[in-house]
Structure 1
Amino acid sequence: MVVGATGTTGSRVVARLSAAGLRVKATSRHATPVDGARPVRFDWNDPSSFDNALEGTDRIYLVPPPGSPDPAAVMLPFLRQARAAGIRRAVLLSASAIPLGGPAIGQVHKALPDLVPQWAVLRPSWFMQNFSGNHVHARTIRADGTIRTATGEGRVGFVDAEDIAAVAVHALTDAQAPNTDLIITGPQAVSYGDIAAVLTEVTGHTVTHRRLTHESLRDRLAADLPIEFATMLADLDRAIAKGAEDRTTDTVQRLTGHPPRDFRAFAEREMRRPRSRPV
């Protein structure tokens, strides 16, 4: 069972599991078909959807309810129900910046080992996909060629969602469950200024990193998010400015056998400007 099967990592996990010939329930609020997997309705805010999603399932990829400042409130009751239904392994998507017992999903991380016999917590760094698709950074890049953060010169080991999905599939299917948390990064830590420079070169359009204060970022995010969640996100930017994400790990190479993709390779794959057709 893949929760959030239409999302950034969930859709990629479904695709990889299906390609391996495994039976997959692709769950989403609207039971949207994904890569030939069985679509099943699942809504964190509707416990009546849990039983059908869990039926015949023994392993789960868990994506928290988006934007929730307290995901444990709905996820822990679900995990207790999942254990009673026979779930043996759960792989939880968390974040590198949120440790065991930390805020939000950190509380689910803390409880997980006591709720399922086999488990893993994925703690990826910031997604490279934040600069494409519908993420706020992608929208401002398209709108006015800016990336706005409160990270200063802080560096991040940005990671491709394809690599996160590869680690997730390993954690779901390997004979030995990780039973640990896994910090997942790309091959190098770079600043948002570095990202802007690569995007300028690859897309052919000038992209600039615009530095905000913690307070201005919080207020900007609070226009679309609950103030508690906006504050937490602004706090994460401040932590980056202080060096909290300036690191890389060997998780992708060690578990999947291939090196993690770097940001330039991602940008050239996803964002390169179209070449002119010959006349």
Structure 2
Amino acid sequence: MSTIDPTGVTLVIGATGTTGSRTVAQLTAAGRPVRAASRRAGPLPGAEPVRFDWYDPAGFDAAVTGADRVYLVPPVGDPDPAAVMLPFLDRARAAGVRRAVLLSSSAIAEGGPAVGRVHRALPGLFDEWAVLRPSWFMQNFTGTHAHADSIRADGAVLTAAGAGRVGFVDADDIAAVAVRALTDDRAPNADLVLTGPQALSHDDIAAILTDVTGRPVVHHHLTYEAQRDRLAAVIPPEFAAMLAGMDRDIAGGSEDRTTDTVRRLTGRPPHGFRAVAERELGAPAASAAAVHPESPTGAGSGGRLR
């Protein structure tokens, strides 16, 4: 039986990010009290904002006090997030947090590099927990980061993934699973791999984007070295090498799978990429903004969104 209060506060770290903002929106829509943690403590409808920075432990207590569950988005681009996350999790447990849901990656196993160390530690810290391991985000192609930047600028997707296929997943579906993991009477206490309904190559993605937006989009096949060096121009070299290595793994078939996790936890099927592209890029105004070379864009990380 769960030990958390069904009316208790959920702390969402990374509350203005890709999955965090959607998780906040779905929790507040369900009438759940939410503390929205971000570096600027920006206001989100229905949530209590709080300033939070993984690299500033002075703000940890204000974030966790009074919360009984937490959604954890690791610091973006840090090759060793455990160094800052594990001290925070100790603090959270001492403050009364009973359930933790961690956003990881389908490409990183328990005990693996980066957030894999946090994944391994989580069950020993909390009796109620889940690790979400989504495949690569569909929003990497429709948002304001990563591949979306090169699509807007050059009509191109650049990877070292070759013809490898990926079960790309909608961030809305990730948030829906996060909400269930955070609020169900029983925590999953499991490692959950999340995918969309179909595994697609980047050539397939380019063809769908061309069809939906009306602007040609192509997939440029890079070598591992070329992708690593391209990414290292904008992100730390260790992280660039890891991301390029993930592309190389995709080329070898590491992400060529689909799972039933979204349907099993939410009761509905996951969204397909064409439906998401039409939702986010298909309207005339959205399409123009998405593909115009001079449209404002965010600072792309070169990897998946968080």
TM-score, normalised to structure 2, is 0.89
Selected match of 1:224 from 227, 234, 239: 234
1:26 aligns with 2:36: yes
1:133 and 1:248 map into 2 onto residues whose CA distance is 23
Q: 121, 126, 129: which is aligned to 1:111? A: 121
Whether the 8 Å CA contact 1:202–1:273 is kept in 2: the answer is: no
Matched, 1:7 2:35: no
Distance of 1:137 and 1:65 partners within structure 2: 20
Cα distance in 1 between the residues matched to 2:37 and 2:92: 15
Q: Which has the higher contact order (CA 8 A, sep 6+)?
A: 2
Question: Quick one: distance in 2 between partners of 1:97 and 1:174?
Answer: 26
Give the equivalent residue in structure 2 for 1:240.
Answer: 250
Question: 2 CA distance for matches of 1:24 and 1:200?
Answer: 39
* Deviation, structure 1 residue 261: 0.3
Which of residues 250, 255, 258 is equivalent to 2:265? 255
Q: Does 1:78 align with 2:88?
A: yes
Displacement of 1:136: 2.1
Asked if 1:168 is matched to 2:161, the reply is no
SS of the residue 2:18 aligns to: coil
Q: What secondary structure does 1:58 align onto? A: strand
Match of 1:155 in 2: 165
**In structure 2, how many angstroms separate the alpha carbons of the residues matched to 1:9 and 1:133?**
12
Task: Indicate the residue corresponding to 1:185 in structure 2.
Answer: 195
Aligned mate of 1:93, from 91, 103, 120: 103
Deviates more, 1:33-42 or 1:213-222: 33-42
Q: Distance in 2 between matches of 1:193 and 1:83?
A: 45
| C-alpha separation in 2, matches of 1:84 and 1:38 | 22
Question: How far 1:273 moved relative to its partner?
Answer: 5.4
The CA distance in 2 between the partners of 1:241 and 1:33, in whole Å, is: 41
Extract unaligned runs of 5+ from structure 1: none
Query: How far apart in 2 are the matches of 1:38 and 1:273?
Result: 32
Which AA in structure 1 matches 2:165?
A: R
Counterpart residue number, 2:4: none
Letter in 2 for 1:131: F
The answer to whether the 8 A contact 1:167-1:255 is kept is yes
Aligned residues: 275
Partner Cα separation in structure 2 for residue 129 and residue 69 of structure 1: 22
Distance 1:142 1:226 in 2: 24
1:190-232 per-residue CA deviation (whole Å, 9 max, x = no partner) reads: 0000000000001000000000000000000000111100000
Give the corresponding residue for 2:222.
212
User: What is the deviation of 1:35?
Assistant: 2.2
Structure 2: tracts of 5 or more residues without a match: 1-10, 286-306
Q: Following the alignment from structure 2 to structure 1, what is the Cα–Cα distance between the partners of residues 45 and 17?
A: 13
Instruction: Tell whether the 8 Å contact from 1:204 to 1:273 is kept in structure 2 after alignment.
Output: no
Q: 1:268 and 1:30 mapped to 2: Cα distance?
A: 31
Q: Is it true that 1:47 corresponds to 2:47 in the alignment? A: no
SS at match of 1:2: strand
Displacement of 1:36 in angstroms is 2.1
In structure 1, how many angstroms separate the alpha carbons of the residues matched to 2:171 and 2:23? 10
In structure 1, what residue type is equivalent to 2:182?
Answer: L
* Cα distance in 1, alignment partners of residues 98 and 67 from structure 2: 9
Aligned partner of 2:279 in structure 1 is: 269
Asked if structure 2 preserves the Cα contact closer than 8 Å seen for 1:60 and 1:91, the reply is yes
1:187 shift after superposition:
0.1
CA contact (8 A) 1:128 1:161 kept: yes
Give the Cα separation in 1 of the matches to 2:283 and 2:166: 25
- Provide the C-alpha distance between the structure 2 equivalents of 1:253 and 1:272, rounded to a whole number of angstroms: 25
